[in-house]
Chain A
Amino acid sequence: MFAADSGCWFTQKVLCWRAAASVAWSVLLLPASTAAFVVLSKLSVLHPVQMFADCVSVLLSAGSVFSFVLLAGVIIMVGFLTFEYYTVIPSIACSKVALLGQLLHPRQLLYCLAHGVMGVVVGWSCAVTIGYRYERLAYLCPQKDRDGLLHMCLNEHHLLLLLEGGFVGLSHSLLGVIQNLNYVSFGTVQQHKYLCFKASLPLAAKCSAAQAFYSVRNFVLLYFFLGHIPRAWMCKSLSLHLDSSAHPLDSISGLLDLSLLYLLWISATYLLFSWYMTLLLFRIFVTEAYSFPVQSTFTEEAPQCLPKVLSEKQPMILKFLALQDLSLLSQHSPSRRSQVFSLSQPGGHPHNWNAISKECLSLLADLTQRLVSYHETVATNGRTKSLSSGSDRKTSSESSGTEDLASCRPTFLMKTPASVFLRSVGAGPQSPLTSPFTPDLDSPFASPTLRQLTSPVDPGSPWHGVVQSPHVMRRAPKLWSTSTDSQRNGSPPASPATLPTPKPESSKPSFLAQFFQNRREQLPEASSQALFADGQAHIWALDGLSYLVQASFTEDQFGVVQTTLPSILSSMLLLQEAVDRHFKLPHASSKPVRSTISLGDSSHKTLRFALRATLKTAIYRITTTFGAHLHAVQLSAEHRKRLQHFLEYKE
């Protein structure tokens, strides 16, 4: 998957080993969590001795060894999938529809399917380990049938655990997309791997318990309503019978069995915990700082040196690790800094510094450019252009317009859910409501489960199911609604059953349509988050540059930094200007809602604040170091004025 051959050595020599080590550790830790699971599943306060004996016998039995091997296989598979799907730049969906698109991406579906299957396997292992009535899928029916023959009957308890495993695995993988579980973030402080792991262990336990609770609740509800379908299918395909004497489990009395619920919860927790451990270990191993040589005496090692590696595009993590290493060396390592400031032996060119500073500056210029063009789009149109969703400006602006209208009065464009489907299927591109993902509404994924899965993204946001929110009306610009007004009047009504009469009762059928309408609406601040999705790289570049410049005041013997100082300063000041302007936009400076307990890393949501703070600190670092000497640096008048603010500590 890493096509570029330049960064290939890194994938082969470092990344694969790191991933393998993390998987190996998670397999090694599996017996501990399995033992904990066995103890918890056999828990009985009244007979502790018997419980202990039970646990030991279960752990030493041949069946548990087999299931352990199976579980190890599952962990290896999970580790492999994590390795295949991880990313250092989070994919931020700018609208709910884009999120849906992410969820329904074939690659993602494969991921979900694999997790579902692995969940079933874990569920089977759990069932075998728990034993008792859960152990086998079929048992001999207690009653003979009319012919006097004995039949095999379906053990619904066993089936329940299997299905639960599959459900939890599936919901884990779906939630993973929403919470960006595959996003690997780099820690604020460097710590040894063991300490990192120890510190994150309680969180993993807490998260898995909480997540398991919600998953089991949803599963039980689902099974209550739809449980007969898989049961009948199982009976039919395996030619098993239903035990008429046993109580069916998809009833209130069947599901309100405390020991059953407890076991379901424990096994879901066990499943999630072992997977979260794998994920955590992977994150810890893969983000460990890697020290690249600054320069090498051998030419064949030149591609592995920091100046070369910095400019690599693929794999992305290589660039990130290189920038992290740059930031660390600039802060902590005088000897490696001296290599950066050194001159090449024949020729006397500061190749190292030139390459490093050029790459960092191009990163900063790239971000500046991105911010400026984003700002231009917003400033000229008064509407935001969505960045990552396929349905870009047109959809977003028009949906906002209609949504504005919908909140003011009942929409007339949509009467019934049927009209939504009709239009989405047949109306074609002239329809203002077309979006690439609308046909998926009638796909099997548009179940209550999905809706419930998409909602936890931002439970505090006004977009959470509420249509007539005051935020909606406030957010829509005035200019905009008039433009859609004219368009509305001009365009022929798409649905045959339209009458522009605002009647309160007509709002009722359009609720579903509005619901999806809101889902297509831009998420507040999501576009801003998406702009700064790779902000960590810029933060390191700023840190690295500013620390190197600071160190150059005393350590740079040949004055190599001096030549680039004007361009460093001006690019930082330009970026500062662009960032300042960006933060004046409505949603840019609003803080994201504190995420509830979850392992999903939400640090990407605050990257823009971190970048702003780092940028300011970086400029101050240079100005405090150089002080009045900066007056001698060639800068434009505007930048000089700006720099003067920094010199006087007025920013």
Chain B
Amino acid sequence: MCSLTLFPPPLQDGQTTLCESNNELLSGSNTQNASPMSLHFPRESLKLHSRTESSSKAAFLDHSETLWMRSAAAWRDGGLTGLLNEITDSNSEVPKWLSVGSGCILALLRWISSFHSSLFPHLTLSSEDMIAEFSQVLNWSDCVVRAFAWHPHTDKFAVALLDESIKIYNPKSTTTPTLKHRLQRNVAAMQWKPLCASALAVACQNCVLVWHVDPCSLSARPSSSCAQVLSHPGHAPVTSIAWSPSGALLLSASPMDTSMMVWDVAAESCVPLQRVGGGGVTFLSWSPDGSHVLASTPSALFRVWETRMWTCERWPCLKGRCQSGCWSPDGSRLLFAVEGETVIYALTFAGAPDISTSSLKGPQAAAVVADLSETTFHTEDGDLIVGGEIQSLAWDPRGERLAVLLKGDPQATNRPAIIAVFKTRTSPIFELLPCGFVQGEPGVEPRLMQFHPNFQHGALLTVCWSSGRITHVPFYFLTSAVPVVGLSGSPSLLHPLERPADFASQSLFTELLS
């Protein structure tokens, strides 16, 4: 087992990673060329809400209403606890037994809920904190770009911004539609529907929105009637969504809800798949071949669902919850990272189960494939510590590059968040080789990353930075494996592997060693 010491050292100050070519990461100084595709959303340009909605209550004068009216309003706004609160507070107007009784019930409810939340501590978080806690985005609440989604088939992408709007960029059209909706608040994730040109699912605080943005439309502000609202009581906030690769179903997950929802989007109906253990579902990832779904929970437990009969395997972790995970293109291998640990694990699954073999036999234990514990690099600008916990994982659609977003330490200046990129090979054996670090301008941290789903010349990693800039880092290579049929048309010829660089010859992990 090897570590980050095998990686080429990080860049000096003032250098940014531009691309990978001939097996080397090339860098340049940051000022010269902002590539035409890169976008910049300065924080100042966004019109943010200065005040949260709950605080506006104080701005209005107190108005005396009858107890009935207030109770009704409290019932509407706050449900049973709101009603009980109202009755307890207005003890001068109601009979004593009523206010005392409701006070007792309230105390009892609080006691029960405290017991419940001591079991699952995440339930005490506010929904915004909860999204920040479980999001794949580093430091989500402070992030200008809150979510990013490439279209699976074309070169367009959607960007969700801090001001609750979503912009859609398409290189082939001059209009950039801006999507706004009353319910579109605190966007945690977005995904385009596969095998469709227009549908974009957005995980919001209270619901899932599915926008239908006509690619031929010239409208810059599609009306909110273009959005379908998918909501289910108790299923909020939604922190993760996943379309099935066949485009038929949409999964949504909320840490507050023990069931994950399988949506038939067109019919706006859902089937809850409930498993109580874990106390919620935080992160979903559908394997590219559609046969498995990873669903992690807020506890030290995650599940791998099989999508034919929707049965699941439980995978208890030792230390913490599963923070992130990604699938190999053929869906046979799952890499995942656990909170509190600095390693990447791998699970191997048998190929797509045939209809005749209903019970699939999964792996028995996860194997550690990479150790990302802290490593100190001595550079000219001083020591730089790289490594630590993992925020998110991304595997390019050909299965050749694996990007790992490391959390870093916001307090320490010499331990920034950084993206480490591995070279991977899935066939004939699984191999992991170091590639390098992707760095941005000085003082700017990567927050979110995603691979382009069908980049012709290798892999294209899109990184959203803390400054509000979005850049694309291409990795040019010739693919060694047969490309995935169906995405790029006719299968191309096999090409010989390129010359291996000297550091790359030291493989981090191969199945032969373990």
| Residue in B267, B310, B356, B487 whose beta carbon sits within 8 Å of that of A610 in the complex | B267
**For the complex, what is the distance from the CA of A614 to the CA of B249, rounded to whole Å?**
11
Contact A607 B267 (CB under 8 A): yes
* B384 adjacent to chain A (CB < 8 Å): no
* Contact call B486/A624, Cβ cutoff below 8 A: yes
A606 lies within 8 A of chain B by Cβ: yes
Contact of B485 among A191, A614, A620, A625 (CB under 8 A): A625
A554 vs B289: C-alpha distance when bound (angstroms): 15
Q: Please, which residues of chain A bring their CB within 8 A of the CB of B311?
A: 192
Identify the closest chain A residue to B216 (Cβ): A650
Q: How far is the CB of B244 from chain A (nearest CB, A)?
A: 10
CB of A100 within 8 Å of the partner chain: no
Cβ-defined contact, B248 with A617, below 8 A: yes
Whether B354 and A334, one on each chain, are in contact in the complex, defined by CB atoms closer than 8 angstroms, is yes
Task: Tell whether A36 is near chain B: CB-to-CB under 8 Å.
Answer: no
Contact flags (1/0) for B310-325 with A, using CB distance below 8 Å?
A: 1100000000000000
In angstroms, how far is the closest chain A Cβ from the Cβ of B494?
Answer: 17
* Cβ of A333 under 8 Å from chain B: yes
Within B261-305, the residues touching A (CB, 8 Å) are 262, 264-269, 271-274
Report yes or no: B197 in contact with A610, Cβ–Cβ below 8 A.
Answer: no
A135 CB to closest chain B CB, in angstroms? 36
On whether the beta carbons of A188 and B249 are closer than 8 Å, the reply is yes
Most buried by A among B153, B195, B272: B195
Quick check: A613 and B266 within 8 Å, CB to CB?
Answer: yes
**What's the tally of chain A residues with a CB closer than 8 Å to chain B?**
43
- Decide yes or no: A610 and B485 within 8 Å by CB, A332-B352, A621-B246 being known contacts: no
- Set of chain B residues within 8 Å of A620, measured between Cβ atoms: 195-197, 247
Closest CB of chain A to B350's CB: distance in Å? 13
Distance between Cα atoms of A603 and B262 in the complex (Å) = 15
For the residues of B in contact with A, the DSSP-based class is: loop
Q: Which of A188, A328, A550, A624 contacts B271 (CB 8 A)?
A: A188
- Asked if B215 is an interface residue, CB under 8 A from chain A, the answer is yes
* Interface residues as binary, B124-154 with A (CB distance below 8 Å gives 1, 0 otherwise): 0000000000000000000000000001011
Residues on the A chain within 8 Å of B355, using CB: 291, 328-329, 332-333, 335-336
Interface string of A171-192 (1 = CB under 8 A from B): 0000000000000000111111
Chain B residue at smallest Cβ distance from A649? B197
Across the interface, which residues of B come within 8 angstroms of A333, CB to CB? Answer: 354-356
B309 touches A649 (CB 8 A): no
Is A229 close to B, CB under 8 A?
no
Q: Which residue of B lies closest to A325 (CB)?
A: B355
| A591-B266 in contact (CB<8A) | no
B248 touching A606, Cβ below 8 Å: no
Q: How far is the CA of A613 from the CA of B248 in the complex (A)?
A: 8
How many B residues, CB 8 Å from partner? 39
Q: For residue A625, which residues in chain B have a CB less than 8 angstroms away from its CB?
A: 485-486
In the complex, which residues of chain A have a beta carbon less than 8 angstroms from the beta carbon of B262? 188-189
Residue from B248, B267, B271, B490 in contact with A627 in the complex, judged by beta carbons closer than 8 Å: B490
> Is B308 interfacial (CB 8 A cutoff)?
yes
Q: In the complex, which residues of chain A have a beta carbon less than 8 angstroms from the beta carbon of B489? A: 627-629
Q: Which residues of B contact A332 (CB under 8 A)?
A: 308, 352-355
Q: Is the CB of A621 within 8 A of B310?
A: no
Q: Are B246 and A199 in contact (CB under 8 A)?
A: no
- Docked Cα-Cα span, A591 to B485, in Å, equals 37
Contact of A610 with B352 at beta-carbon distance under 8 Å, contacts A627-B489, A627-B490 already known: no
- Give the contacts of A319-362 with B (CB-CB under 8 A): 328-329, 331-336
**Interchain CA distance A18-B309 in the complex, whole Å:** 19
Residue-by-residue, is B226-263 near A (CB-CB < 8 Å gives 1, otherwise 0)? 00000000000000000000111100000000000010
- A335 vs B357: C-alpha distance when bound (angstroms): 11
Q: How far apart are the CA atoms of A101 and B354 in the complex, in Å?
A: 48
Contact indicator A606/B249 (Cβ below 8 Å): no
Give the distance in Å from the alpha carbon of A650 to the alpha carbon of B197 in the complex: 6
Q: How far is the CB of B66 from chain A (nearest CB, A)?
A: 27
B274 partner residues in chain A, CB cutoff 8 A: 199
In the bound complex, residues from chain A placing their C-beta under 8 Å from that of B266 are: 606, 609-610, 612-614
Interface residues of B in 342-356 (CB under 8 A from A): 352-356
The smallest C-beta distance from B132 to any residue of chain A, in angstroms, reads 31
Minimum Cβ distance to chain B for residue A328 (Å): 7
Contact check, A606 vs B246: say whether CB atoms are below 8 A apart: no
The one of B153, B249, B487 that contacts A649, using a Cβ cutoff of 8 Å: B153
In whole Å, how far is B172's beta carbon from the nearest beta carbon of chain A?
9
Query: With a CB–CB cut-off of 8 A, which chain A residues contact B195?
Result: 616-617, 620-621, 624
Q: CB-CB contacts of A575-595 with B at 8 A, as 1s and 0s? A: 000000000000000010000
Bound-state Cα–Cα, A612 to B266, Å: 8
Interface string of B457-492 (1 = CB under 8 A from A): 000000000000000000000000000011111100
- Chain B CB count within 10 A is highest, among A329, A334, A617, for A617
Q: Secondary structure of the A side of the interface?
A: helix
Please, which residues of chain B bring their CB within 8 A of the CB of A191? 271, 273, 309-310
Q: Which residues of chain A from 428 to 458 have a CB within 8 Å of any chain B CB?
A: none
Contact: B246 with A613, CB < 8 Å? Answer: no
Chain B: minimal CB distance from A306 (Å): 13
Pick from A550, A613, A651: contact of B265, CB under 8 Å: A613
Which residue on A lies nearest to B264, using beta carbons? A188
A214 in the interface, Cβ–Cβ < 8 Å? no
User: Are A629 and B154 interface neighbours, CB within 8 A?
Assistant: no
- Chain A residues with Cβ below 8 Å from B354 are 332-335
Interchain CB contact under 8 A, B356 and A188: no
Minimum CB–CB distance from B378 to chain A (whole Å) comes to: 49
Give every chain A residue within 8 A of B310 (Cβ-Cβ): 189-191, 195
A553 within 8 Å of B (CB atoms): yes
Write out, one digit per residue, whether chain A residues 485-524 have a CB within 8 A of any chain B CB (1) or not (0): 0000000000000000000000000000000000000000
Binary A-proximity of B408-440 (CB < 8 A = 1, otherwise 0): 000000000000000000000000000000000
- Name B215's contact: one of A329, A610, A627, A650 (CB within 8 Å): A650
Determine if A609 and B267 form an interchain contact, defined as CB atoms under 8 angstroms apart: yes
Q: From residue A1, how far is it (CB to closest CB) to chain B in Å? A: 30
User: For the complex, what is the distance from the CA of A334 to the CA of B291, rounded to whole Å?
Assistant: 13
Enumerate chain B residues within 8 angstroms of A607, measured Cβ to Cβ. Answer: 267
Q: Mark B61-81, 1 if CB is under 8 A from A, else 0.
A: 000000000000000000000
Closest-by-CB residue of B relative to A628 is: B489
User: Within 8 Å CB of B215, what residues of A?
Assistant: 649-650
Q: Which of B198, B248, B273 has the most CB of A within 10 A?
A: B248
| Nearest CB of B to A67, in Å | 35
Residues of chain A contacted by B271 (CB below 8 angstroms)? 187-189, 191, 199
- Choose one: B198, B264, B267, B308; the contact of A190 (CB below 8 Å): B308
Interface contact B246-A331, CB-CB below 8 Å: yes
Instruction: Closest B residue to A606 by CB, please name it.
Output: B267
A606 to B262, CA, bound (A): 16
CB distance from B245 to the nearest CB of A (A): 10
Cα–Cα distance between A291 and B196 once the two chains are bound (Å): 30
Min distance, Cβ A284 to any Cβ of chain B, angstroms: 13
Task: Report the bound CA distance from A187 to B354 in whole Å.
Answer: 21
CB distance from A529 to the nearest CB of B (A): 12
* C-alpha spacing A543/B266, complex, angstroms: 15
Q: Tell me which residues across on chain B come within 8 A of A650, comparing CB atoms.
A: 197, 215-216
- Tell me the smallest distance from the CB of A296 to a CB of chain B, in Å: 16
The interface residues of chain B lying within 8 Å CB-to-CB of A617 are 195-196, 246-248
23 A–B contact pairs at CB < 8 A?
Answer: A188-B249, A188-B269, A190-B309, A199-B273, A328-B355, A329-B355, A332-B308, A332-B353, A334-B354, A336-B355, A547-B246, A603-B267, A606-B268, A609-B266, A617-B195, A620-B197, A621-B246, A627-B488, A629-B490, A649-B151, A649-B197, A649-B215, A650-B215
Q: Which 4 A-B pairs have the closest CB atoms?
A: A333-B355, A627-B489, A606-B267, A613-B266
Kindly list 9 other residue pairs between chains A and B, CB separation below 8 angstroms, not including A191-B309, A553-B486, A613-B266. A190-B310, A199-B271, A547-B246, A613-B196, A616-B195, A617-B196, A624-B487, A627-B489, A651-B198
Q: Which residues of A contact B (CB under 8 A)?
A: 187-192, 195, 199, 291, 328-329, 331-336, 543, 547, 550, 553-554, 591, 603, 606-607, 609-610, 612-614, 616-617, 620-621, 624-625, 627-629, 649-651
